[in-house]
Chain A
């Protein structure tokens, strides 16, 4: 390898093709440059025009998402992450991103660097990261391979997040054969800052020096962005060198130094070197500012000998940042990095004109207009066609399924399903309490953190049911948003904005692209009605294993704001004797339910239908009640339906399990399994003191929200009509041991 340094391959159409560029794209590069690109330039174009960096296949569809709202300080796509005003001079910055492909070939490092990357996206804006969450998808946990995936991914997330000192406060996870061989690993980070601390990823001001700070550059992660933009194959293990290796200690130092830098007011811009490393950070900062930029590669601190300009420009070594310093304040910047024992090297400066010039020991190795790499990257309208499988799955009639005799057994089976069961085995590996702000520990519908020094609190939830999206992408997209919002609302927080990560198969396949478009349309509709604009996110295509695409899987990260954190509502029953209510209607809906999947082994039917206006009324009712501190608990009904919702409500995180006595008086024409396990939307379980029954009922009536009193909280045992009768201890044991017993 060492000798290759001086022997650059000759650039040909064939070489461009192996870089993932089409013949048309190669021609376009020649037109832009007015000449053939050299090898380094070809590499630069190939990563910047990859789907991962350019969104070339998704841009026209993403334009459907609502990105407006008076609360948005920075809109989606303008910067590394969106910024939302939460009042009192504060803003939150948050974003979710995928690291699916790296995690598939190297679960521990893949997941760890996914966390590292998203943390940098947040502090690069000037915000202090205060929490992490994640959305994970794996194949069946009864298979050893997926147990290893889970162990590696959770270990990697814990390794990174714990060491940096940012609590992982929540998350969600599904296990399904459709994710076999192509796990999804999406990580979300949220930061808080004073509004005036906002830093742009912009290289403005001719003559301002450009600094490289943080870790050294090596050959790790070479071509990671391109690797993420193809399907996984049996040979993907060979791409392991495209996976980066993370050093969370370095990240922690970089985080502290960069925040000190922000407060020093010595910089004009900052951007992390994530996908496509130095290439992406230099071209994007110059492009945003509409300026030119020049850097000298001979100055780049390296960890390996004889690296070529191509390798340096494309390296995805972690924990590095590009900082644009205000001229004259270089010394202040160097002092801060020296304090933290980090490298800070001047690489070049902002230039007049519109080119990105990269030199190496006096030789120009790349000379490209930055806009050609960013705003002017190709955009494609892909063909979309409804997938054939839908005509079969839609025809499925759940009415033909035989109703099980032993409903206790069904409930226990569902509680033992890893998708539904307690995630304690996972979240106990994450430090979820560091920073001492986590006022709702994991296990709640949404995590809630306080903001020290004020009454306000933030709630956060991540959601996305891939099976619903598989059976009806539009409804599934709507539900992903609505459920995330409902989870946040259930804790007493008002939803304010979302970030999304869109995980799909190969967009060149018309049926995959149709799924993508329909899901986005559903998300857009829900965001409009619920007034939660999209602040940004990430698209991950090519999630396919040799058997086909994963479920179309959007993951929605919803942020909610609580004006007074003491108004928060727990997700578990709190007092014996409280009255239990179900708010919202239950319909004859079994399609796409976990009950059908787990008990009957059926992946078919229509998923529940969502009426967004009803959803909105439900939210308003709960938030009004929260302000009045009327309800003692509130739990969203989702996978596993009412029966699972009741069982979960018994199992508070810090106390012994409680019980419930429930009597369902619905019409006799509705099936018992539908009542117990159906997943109709816009429903929650709430409890109130018996003295507050009338008030709840009249408020619900006034809001037009169906409201049924179904029972009481008891000391122990779950009874539902004559159908379910289980010990609370058996429920708890089943629910809590489902994952550990498979993992140990």
Chain B
């Protein structure tokens, strides 16, 4: 299996994802420059976190016009996996590969901390190594992570099992006090209908090594790897 990490001007978790995939998960990995018109011979495309184009206008709003995004869309339409983390999730919303939009955090402040997630869909190619309802500890770091969509979309998301993760307490309770950004229905990660595109605000690459205090993110990478075995 080979992964490609898209580098936009302003991406800053590109190196972190590269490190985890190469040195921890130990798979082939390459960078994909935003000006390329092809993603190359790649199985998994990762849109990393950061501030693509300075987040000017709106997070992800400019990145969606990068030449590489057409290639990423083609990759997704072929049913191949695309993982958008943080800013990558915002770009997937802007380009329309996932439904919905992002609002500023309810606190109006950037927030970086560990949060707990509940696995809502353990059957997608990103979550097969997780148990239904499994609680993960993974950090977030964003200023605009309040997921929002209209009611019909929300019904569809629920009906199609497209909500991958929700913010919960350490023991799995839902509640506003455990929701770090005011996301609708505590949504932290969303899948497309086909299940091959995942957008999530939390950063699995920051919690894939014991030395960083938590390895729960590793299970997401391992799930993708397993889907390719």
Residues of A within 8 A of B (CB): 155, 158, 162-165, 247-250, 252-253, 340-341, 427-436, 438-439, 441, 450, 452, 565, 654
Whether A431 contacts B205 by the Cβ 8 Å rule is: no
Query: Hey, what's the 0/1 contact readout for B1-12 against A, CB within 8 Å counting as 1?
Result: 000000001101
Compute how far the CA of A441 lies from the CA of B9 in the bound complex, rounded to whole angstroms: 28
A–B Cβ pairs within 8 angstroms, 28 of them: A158-B109, A158-B110, A162-B51, A162-B110, A163-B51, A163-B55, A165-B51, A247-B54, A248-B51, A249-B9, A249-B10, A249-B51, A249-B56, A340-B9, A428-B112, A430-B112, A431-B112, A432-B112, A433-B112, A433-B141, A434-B12, A435-B15, A436-B19, A436-B20, A439-B213, A452-B23, A565-B211, A654-B114
B16, B50, B56, B143: the one contacting A436 at CB < 8 Å is: B16
Among residues of B, the one whose C-beta sits closest to the C-beta of A565 is: B211
Minimum C-beta distance from B109 to chain A (A): 5
Compute how far the CA of A163 lies from the CA of B141 in the bound complex, rounded to whole angstroms: 11
Q: Is B139 in contact with chain A by the CB < 8 A criterion?
A: yes
Among residues of A, the one whose C-beta sits closest to the C-beta of B180 is: A428
Residues of B within 8 A of A (CB): 9-10, 12-13, 15-16, 19-20, 23, 49-51, 53-56, 109-114, 139, 141, 143, 203, 205-206, 209, 211-214
Q: Cβ of B113: which chain A residues have Cβ within 8 Å of it?
A: 428
Q: Cβ of B10: which chain A residues have Cβ within 8 Å of it?
A: 163, 249, 252-253
**The 10 residue pairs across chains A and B that have the minimum distance between CB atoms:** A165-B12, A249-B54, A163-B51, A431-B141, A436-B16, A431-B112, A429-B110, A433-B206, A158-B110, A428-B113
Whether B9 contacts A341 by the Cβ 8 Å rule is: yes
Compute how far the CA of A427 lies from the CA of B109 in the bound complex, rounded to whole angstroms: 11
Q: Which of A155, A428, A431 has the most CB of B within 10 A?
A: A431
Minimum C-beta distance from B32 to chain A (A): 14
Among residues of B, the one whose C-beta sits closest to the C-beta of A425 is: B109
Whether A249 contacts B53 by the Cβ 8 Å rule is: yes
Compute how far the CA of A173 lies from the CA of B203 in the bound complex, rounded to whole angstroms: 29
Whether A436 contacts B12 by the Cβ 8 Å rule is: no
Compute how far the CA of A430 lies from the CA of B113 in the bound complex, rounded to whole angstroms: 10
Known: A158-B110, A429-B109, A434-B141. A163 touches B54 (CB 8 A): yes
Whether B13 contacts A165 by the Cβ 8 Å rule is: yes
Minimum C-beta distance from B68 to chain A (A): 14
Q: Cβ of A434: which chain B residues have Cβ within 8 Å of it?
A: 12-13, 16, 49, 141, 206
Q: Cβ of A428: which chain B residues have Cβ within 8 Å of it?
A: 109, 111-113
Q: Cβ of A435: which chain B residues have Cβ within 8 Å of it?
A: 15-16
Among residues of B, the one whose C-beta sits closest to the C-beta of A656 is: B170
Whether B213 contacts A654 by the Cβ 8 Å rule is: yes
Q: Cβ of A654: which chain B residues have Cβ within 8 Å of it?
A: 114, 213-214
Compute how far the CA of A435 lies from the CA of B48 in the bound complex, rounded to whole angstroms: 12
Whether B9 contacts A162 by the Cβ 8 Å rule is: no
Q: Which of B15, B112, B212 has the most CB of A within 10 A?
A: B112
Among residues of B, the one whose C-beta sits closest to the C-beta of A341 is: B9
Minimum C-beta distance from B66 to chain A (A): 12
Compute how far the CA of A340 lies from the CA of B9 in the bound complex, rounded to whole angstroms: 7
Compute how far the CA of A415 lies from the CA of B26 in the bound complex, rounded to whole angstroms: 46
Q: Cβ of B54: which chain A residues have Cβ within 8 Å of it?
A: 163, 247-250, 252
Among residues of B, the one whose C-beta sits closest to the C-beta of A450 is: B211
Compute how far the CA of A438 lies from the CA of B54 in the bound complex, rounded to whole angstroms: 24
Minimum C-beta distance from B177 to chain A (A): 13
Q: Which of A162, A250, A438, A654 has the most CB of B within 10 A?
A: A162
Q: Cβ of A158: which chain B residues have Cβ within 8 Å of it?
A: 109-110
Compute how far the CA of A158 lies from the CA of B205 in the bound complex, rounded to whole angstroms: 21
Among residues of A, the one whose C-beta sits closest to the C-beta of B12 is: A165
Whether A436 contacts B110 by the Cβ 8 Å rule is: no
A155, A253, A433, A450: the one contacting B9 at CB < 8 Å is: A253
Among residues of A, the one whose C-beta sits closest to the C-beta of B52 is: A249
Compute how far the CA of A647 lies from the CA of B205 in the bound complex, rounded to whole angstroms: 33
Among residues of B, the one whose C-beta sits closest to the C-beta of A441 is: B213
Whether B211 contacts A439 by the Cβ 8 Å rule is: yes
Minimum C-beta distance from B59 to chain A (A): 11
Q: Cβ of B211: which chain A residues have Cβ within 8 Å of it?
A: 439, 450, 565
Compute how far the CA of A28 lies from the CA of B50 in the bound complex, rounded to whole angstroms: 51
Among residues of B, the one whose C-beta sits closest to the C-beta of A435 is: B16
B9, B20, B206, B212: the one contacting A252 at CB < 8 Å is: B9
Q: Which of B20, B54, B56 has the most CB of A within 10 A?
A: B54
Contacts A163-B10, A252-B10, A431-B110 known; list 13 others, CB within 8 Å: A158-B109, A162-B51, A162-B141, A164-B12, A248-B54, A249-B10, A249-B53, A427-B112, A428-B111, A428-B112, A429-B110, A429-B111, A654-B213
Among residues of B, the one whose C-beta sits closest to the C-beta of A436 is: B16
Compute how far the CA of A427 lies from the CA of B12 in the bound complex, rounded to whole angstroms: 19
